[in-house]
Amino acid sequence: MWFRTPGGDLLLDYIPVLVHFVIVVGLTAALPALHALVGGSRPTPPKMEPYESGVWTIGSTRERVPIRYYLIAMLFILFDIETVFLFPWAVVYRRLGAFGLIEMLVFVGVLGAGLIYAWKRGALEWE
């Protein structure tokens, strides 16, 4: 995305992305289709079992997962968003100088307090 030629046509710049996208979608559609066409199908009961690395499936595969997963995902998103704010700062931090650094330190410091909180509250542990 960052290779745009100055003054060039935007759409032309994105043609590689488009080609990539078409190949990805085409391939993911073509491979199963090819398999269905030439592979044939002879189902037997063991083949219909969910594949669990050779171990028999125990219980339902649709178990409820613990809320820990949600917490981890939520923490991930929050710090993901933090990095989003780091990117534009990193691009211009030389130009912004000390002020930019202080501003970013305050930003990261506030989230650091959040990290300490999450840590001490045991949100990072898989109890």
- Footprint of other proteins (CB under 8 A): 1-2, 4, 6, 10-11, 14, 62, 64-71, 73-78, 80-82, 84-85, 87-93, 95-96, 99-100, 103-104, 106-108, 110-111, 113-114, 116-118, 120-123
Phi, psi of 20 (to 5 degrees): -55, -45
Q: Are 90 and 79 in contact (CB under 8 A)?
A: no
Helix (H, G, I), strand (E, B) or coil at 75: helix
- Which positions ≥6 away from 38 have C-beta within 8 Å? none
Q: Kindly state the smallest distance separating residue 28's Cβ from other proteins, in Å.
A: 13
Q: Kindly state the smallest distance separating residue 19's Cβ from other proteins, in Å.
A: 14
Q: Which residue, 26 or 70, has its beta carbon nearer to other proteins?
A: 70
